[in-house]
Structure 1
Amino acid sequence: MAINCAFHAGMIADILDAEIDKVFHTVSGRMSAGRFDFSINSLSSNSPYLLEVNNSQCEIDAGFETEEYFLIVEAKMYGVEDFLIRQLYYPYRLWSSKVHKKVLVALMTFSNSTNQFSFFLYDFENLSDYNSIRLIQQKNYIISPEEITRDDISEVFNSVKVVCEPDVTFPQADDFNRVVDLLTLLYENDLTKDEITTKYQFTARQTNYYTDAGRYLGLVDKIKNSGSKEITFCLTEEGRSLMNKKHKSKILSLIQRILKYPVFYKTFEMTLQTGEIPQKDKVSEIMSSLNYGDKTKNRRFQTVRSWIKWIWNMCSD
């Protein structure tokens, strides 16, 4: 689990400004939040709501202690643009009433694409005010994998055997890091469409776009339950094999899967020739030469450019 890796690599100790052998992993799991009152802002008026919590459940991914601090960590195995404050506030209130040391809370995110751990350290300025949360520190860490060089990427490009487009909707998923994050989620568990939408803070349409991207690459399978009609997504055998690989091999395998399709191959080839990622008109010309319709070109050219940009972003030199 990423949080254990962060602990043993010394990231938690660095955040708490402590020696690694002076930091202890003491708490995790589901527990009662106890009883407390708090205020929360109203969106419709200037008067806050006063709420009472009576033994509601909360879950702590990990709690770490030093002599001075108790740090509660909420961990996400993907990048987030927003999160539910409750996931930090309820554990904060619980442990503020139990320990006499300073309680800190942190959101940790991990990107399987970049190997980056990001920590957002928060404090609540007013114990009883849900909205008094403030960011006090943000730190990024990378456990350096084998570097991916231009020569590595060129070797993949030169070895690619271009294949016909699959019988799956052409992808409309502009952030390839989120495609990788989705693969990470599915590596842990098969998920329904609704679970992906909720866990990943997607809209239903975004869930369709990003699961279609995984299916386009041959890494995700879509299964419809004949009885309930519920749709579940899982990794294919190729997807699970790829996600089992070490970081460098995994990224190069993803690059190979992107470049084996004609539009990505030709766009990348043009990038090698010109030294820059082609603009919309050039990508549209490539798509026209491959008999893509106007509707596909207008909606998908940005995905082509974004995925090619992601390939180069994986390069260390």
Structure 2
Amino acid sequence: ANSMDRVISLLENMYENPMTTQQIAELMDFDLRQSDYYFNAGRYLGLFEKNADDGQKVVSLTALGNRIFRLNYKKRQLKLVELILEHRIFADFFDVMMETGEVPDKKEIADEMRALHVCNEGQVARRASSVAGWLKWIGNLMKL
């Protein structure tokens, strides 16, 4: 889930319109496995949840996700940045980014993820790529 823009797009599309992971995959034009990645990214930030509805799992916005959706653009983006930076791996590398002006490379991120025991070894490379993508998104916001 490297693209924060896609997480935001899901936030916008699921407002008052819960979706199955199949519907998410169709909307975003990717396979079913990827829809789980983006659901989990939104869940990590406290935006999305899964519930049973008529015997199938449906993804919807949490109360926090609904509140964030209703914010104006600038406040929404700032709140998303705040949610991201609540997680140490992002906060630490945001500080590095502010000092260097560069998004850290994925190897450096992966090494720090291992040191912090953020996830298991099989997920490190994928998650390091997501961390880099989200940090890049934050960096691009700061250029606006």
TM-score by length of 1: 0.43
Letter in 1 for 2:100: T
Match of 2:134 among 307, 313, 316: 307
Alignment-mate amino acid for residue 279 of structure 1: D
Partner deviation per Cα, 1:177-222 (whole Å, 9 max, x = no partner): 1110000000141112222222222210111111111111101111
How far does residue 301 in structure 1 lie from its aligned partner after superposition?
A: 0.7
Alpha-carbon spacing, 1:315–1:234, altered in 2? closer, same or farther (3 Å): same
Aligned residue identity for 2:113: M
Letter in 1 for 2:37: Y
Any runs of at least 4 consecutive aligned residues in structure 1 with deviations exceeding 4 A, and if so which? none
1:174 corresponds to 2:10: no
Q: Report the AA paired with residue 90 of structure 2.
A: F
| Corresponding residue for residue 204 of structure 1 | 32
Q: Given the superposition, is the C-alpha separation of residues 279 and 241 from structure 1 closer, same or farther in structure 2, using an over 3 Å criterion? A: same
**Partner residue, 1:190:** 18
CA shift, 1:267, in A, is: 1.4
Question: What is the DSSP-based 3-state SS (H/G/I as helix, E as strand, rest coil) of the residue aligned with 2:104?
Answer: coil
The aligned amino acid for 1:271 is M
Where in structure 1 are there 5+ consecutive unaligned residues? 1-172
Aligned-residue identity in percent: 34
The whole-number CA distance in structure 2 between the counterparts of 1:213 and 1:284 is 17
1:239-278 matched pairs, under 5 angstroms: 239-278=65-104
In 2, Cα distance between equivalents of 1:197 and 1:284: 28
2:142 partner SS: coil
Q: What TM-score do you get using the length of structure 2 for normalisation?
A: 0.92
Cα-to-partner distance string for 1:29-66 (whole Å, 9 max, x where unaligned): xxxxxxxxxxxxxxxxxxxxxxxxxxxxxxxxxxxxxx
Amino acid at match of 1:192: T
Which residue of the partner structure matches residue 279 of structure 1?
105
What do the CA deviations read for 1:208-266 (whole angstroms, capped 9, x no partner)?
111111111101111124x62x1101111100000100111000000000110111111
Q: More strand by proportion, 1 or 2? A: 1
Indicate whether 1:219 and 2:47 are aligned. yes
Q: Based on CA coordinates, which of the two structures has the bigger radius of gyration? A: 1
Provide the C-alpha distance between the structure 1 equivalents of 2:66 and 2:59, rounded to a whole number of angstroms. 13
> What amino acid is the match of 1:301?
A
> Secondary structure, in 3 states, of the residue corresponding to 1:282?
helix
Q: What SS is found at the alignment partner of 2:10?
A: helix
Aligned length: 143
Amino acid in the other structure paired with 1:311: I
1:102-158 Cα offsets, whole Å, 9 max, x none, are xxxxxxxxxxxxxxxxxxxxxxxxxxxxxxxxxxxxxxxxxxxxxxxxxxxxxxxxx
- Structure richer in helix, relative to its length: 2
In structure 2, distance between residues paired with 1:281 and 1:190: 37
Q: RMSD across aligned C-alpha pairs, in angstroms?
A: 1.5
Of stretches 243-252 and 274-283 in structure 1, the one that deviates more from structure 2 is: 274-283
Tell me the distance in 2 between the aligned counterparts of 1:281 and 1:198: 32
- Distance in 2 (CA, whole Å) between partners of 1:199 and 1:296 is 25
Higher relative contact order (CA 8 A, sep 6+): 2
Equivalence for 2:115: 289
Flag structure 2 segments of 5+ consecutive residues without an equivalent: none
